[in-house]
Structure 1
C-alpha cells in the first residue's frame, strides 16, 4: 500500500471552509476529533491548531470508523473522514478536485452530516530508496500493484512518480475491499501483501506472505509472517532475493544428499565397497558439505563465523575428550594398584 512507500510524514496543504464557517472554529473542532488518533493527518491537524494558539474543542463518544473518526459535539454527530466529491458542496468539490489533480490527500470535516470544511495534505514524503525498490522488484520479475484507501486520482499521481503504471494502481478501497482483492489475486498468483497500518492486517492474513513494515501494532504482528522494523524499503527486494536463493540452496542440498545416499547404497549392494568406516566417513563429510552450502546464505562473513565456531568446538571437544580419557586411565591404574 502507499504507506509502505512513504515515510508517513506528509505536509499540511490547505484548509477550505464551507459557507458561514470560521477557520479557527473548524480547526479546533477537527483537532478535538483527532486528539486521540495516531494517523499522520491527525497529527498535522493538531500541530496546526497548536501553532495557531488554539485549544481543541472537547469532542465526546470518539469512535474509529472504516473511513474516519466519529464523535459527538453539542448533541450532534461530527466526523473527520475521507472526502467523497458528490457529497460536498460546490466550493469544497472544487478544492477536492484540485487536490486530487495534484496527488494530494484530503479529508472532510462534517457536522450533523453536513460537510463544513476540507483539509488537504501534501504527499511528497516518499521513502528514500522507494524508487530503487520498484526497479529491483521489476528486475526480479515481481509484479507490483498498489491498493489504497486514498482517492484513485491521488494514488495514480503518486504511483506514477515512482514509475508505476496507473493500471496497477487501485484507490478508494476499504479494508474489506483489500481483502477481496488479495484473495482474488491469490487464486492465480503467489501474493505478498505489504502493509503498515492496523487496517491492513486482514489483507496481510489473506495473502500467501504478509509483511508488516515499521509497525509494532499487535494486530499486524499476529497477521504478518514477516516484520520489517527499519525505514529502508529496499529490504523487501533483498527479502525476495534471499528467499529465492534459500529455495535454490535447499534444492541443492536435497539433491546432493539423495545422490550421496544412493551412491553409498549402490557401493554396498554392488560389492564395490563393504567397509562401514568409509561409508560413515563419506556420509559425515556430505553432512559438512550441506552445512557449508547452507551457510553461504549468510554471506562470506556468515561462512567464516561458522568455520570459526566449528573449529573452536572441535578443539574444545577434543581437549575435553583427552582429559576424560586420561582421567579414566588414571582411575583404572589406581584401582589396579594393590
Structure 2
C-alpha cells in the first residue's frame, strides 16, 4: 500500500522533509522560510511552525536519538532546534561563518556533529561547544571551487562525501579530535585529519557531465552513489577502485539513496522513484515504484516526450495531468522504515506539494490511499 498525503488542496511545493525516530512527526518546509511540524494522531495535525529563518529553508535533518532538528537556509544561517517541556521548539544559532546561502545539512550517525554545505565553496563541520553553550564550526575548503549541493556521512562518523556544481564528488575526513576518538582505517584511506581529501571523482569526465544533485554512502560505507544533471547513475567502490556509470533516458535525478548493499533508489524530474541494482560491473534497472505512468510502460520515456516537445516547438504537452502519483519533480527522498542495508519503506516529496510513502516490499504498487495532512 502506498500512502499519499497533500495539504488540503494547497499546491505549495515541499522543499524538503525529515522524520522523527518513531515516524510519528514530520518536519517539512513549504518552499519558504518556515518549517512546519506535523504530528500523526488520528490524522496529521499541525503542531508548530518554526519561522526563525529570514529566507527560504534549503534543507532539514532530524536526529533520531537526540530528537533535535537542524535546518539551513538561503539566509546563510543554520539552527539547531530543541523541544522544550511545553512541546515547542526553541532555536540555537550555529556559527557557520559563511557569506553565501547554506544549501544542505546532515547529522552525523553519532549525532554529535553535523555538516553544512554552502555556496561559499566550503563545508562547515559543526559541533557543540559546552563552555559557551553554542554550536561552532570548522571549515573544509580545499580543493572545493563551487557550491556544495549534497552531503552524506560514512557509517564510521568520520568521513563525509560531498557533491558540488563543479561536476566533482569528493570524500573528506570530517574527524574532529576535540569531541571523538580516533577513527579506525577504512578502504578510503588511513589519514583522518580534518579536511583531508580521501577521494575525488569527476562526473562523466568524457561526456561533460553535469552538476551533482545528490550523493549517498552505502550501508557498509565502502561505496558511494551519485546522480547529476546528465541523467546518469554513478557508483564508486573503494575496495577495488571501480567506477561504474549507467546512462539513462530519464530526466535528471535529484535524489539518490541506498536501500540495500547492492541497490539504490533514485528520483527526480521524471516524477517516479526508480530502483537500480549493481550486478558485477553493471548497473541494471530493477523496478519502478509507480506503475500508473502508462506512457513510460508503453515505451515512451519522459526524456523522449521532452525531446518531442522541443522538436515541435511546443512549450507544453497537451495533457495537464501526468499519469503518475507525483505531478511534478521529486526533490527529496528519505528512508521511512529500515536503513540503507535493508530499507522497507521510503518517503518522497516534491514541487507538486505531495508527500508519498512507498512500500518497497511489494516493489510495484497499484494503489494508494489519498489523505490530507489536515485530516480533510
- TM-score tier by shorter-chain length is under 0.3
Mark the structure with the bigger radius of gyration.
Answer: 1
Task: State TM-score, norm by structure 1.
Answer: 0.24
Where is the strand percentage greater, Structure 1 or Structure 2?
Answer: 2
* Length-normalised TM-score, structure 2: 0.22
